[in-house]
Amino acid sequence: MSTLTVSKHFVEASLSGAQRLGLDVHELLQEAGISPDLLRIEKARVSSDQFSRLMQVIWNRTGDEFMALGPRRAHSGTFATMCALVIDCQTLEEVYQRAFQFSRLFEPMVAMELEVGADSARLVTRIEGEIHDPDYYLRESILVIWHRLGSWLIGQPVELEKAEFNYPRPEHGDEYRHIFHCPLSFDSDCTALTFSKRFLSAPVIRDKPEMRQFLKTSPADLLSRPDESNTWTGRIRGLIGRDFSRPMPDFDWIAQELHTSPQTLRRRLKQENTSFQEIKDLLRRDMAIYYLSHQELPINDIAERVGFTEPSTFHRAFKKWTGVTPGAWREGERGDLVQ
């Protein structure tokens, strides 16, 4: 069960190419199990499962893994073919080099090129031709997929030192903090991810049977369900758990369990662009959204499940997180939202 949620911005951005092609966006949403009414809520979020299904629906209906946002069509199976070529690589460096060579076979090219320095390495976005990406979704997706594919292949997250973007900070820029977990730089001369050179020598630990299983839901799952297990944020989420009926562990206990000092942990979280309080709040928000999708659960019971002793306190917190009450959110999911 994944309780992570995805901002409605990414839902709408991912659909912009399909909309430009004249496809019925409401039909695509419903096929993915997302109520169009829910997206009328300003701060709406969908589950990672719903978002993963939506990606697959868009790719299938457009016949384009670039979702009609790129300079050309990427026919279905392009990503799987690239994965089949890189699974035999020995190291992460070889993976990124071979993936770039594969992407160069297509014109105009859409790829990320590996640049290796003395201590660090960069994956730099290379996109030729005209793109139709007003919300930056294609560019964000390329960064995320190449980074998380590499992390999956070596069995450990490639810890990012910096993420750069050759465009101004977008309105949804705050979401980037939870995607990249590193310092962000906008209006840069390129769009790139920087990480320690040491990751390039990491061996590929996956095999072909694992890749076949992986491709059943990827790259959709790479976009919707990041592996946070080795980020400080993810470790803290794991220690907190999902049972909020028990007292919430305090920060000193969390630091002790992670074998670090509270001061060091605060510094680590700052580097990941978050804080202990924010992690707790977002975990509660995502759990509340998850429970609200189960229509049979009374809202007062949900309040207790996510750690609120008073339903009124839960209502206020949920409205702060999403802009609407739990009841209005549930109406949006049912498709009978009245505004």
pLDDT by residue for the chain (339 residues), tens digit each? 456 889 999 999 999 999 999 999 999 999 999 999 999 998 999 988 899 999 999 999 999 999 999 999 999 999 999 999 999 999 999 999 999 999 999 999 999 999 999 999 999 999 999 999 999 999 999 999 999 999 999 998 898 999 999 999 999 999 998 888 899 999 999 999 999 999 999 999 999 999 999 898 888 888 877 655 567 888 898 888 877 877 888 999 999 999 999 999 999 898 888 899 999 999 999 999 989 988 899 999 999 999 898 989 999 999 999 999 999 999 888 776 655
Pairing of strands 192-196, 120-127: antiparallel
Residue 181 has what pLDDT? Answer: 87
Residue 329 has what pLDDT? Answer: 92
Residues composing the chain? 339
Residue 337 has what pLDDT? Answer: 61
The H or E element spanning position 124 is strand 120-127
Q: What is the DSSP string of 172-219?
A: TGGGHHHHH-S-EE-S-SS-EEEEEGGGGGPBP---HHHHHHHTTTTT
* Per-domain boundaries in the chain: 5-69, 78-199, 232-334
Q: What is the DSSP string of 15-53?
A: HHHHHHTT--HHHHHHHTT--TTGGGSTT-EEEHHHHHH
Report the C-alpha gap between 221 and 218 in whole angstroms: 5
Nearest to 108 by CA among 124, 128, 125: 128
Report the C-alpha gap between 103 and 100 in whole angstroms: 5
- Three-state DSSP state, 64: coil
Residue 242 has what pLDDT? Answer: 76
Pairing of strands 160-164, 184-185: parallel
The answer to whether 112 and 100 are in contact (CB under 8 A) is: yes
Q: Under CATH, which number does the domain 232-334 receive? A: 1.10.10.60
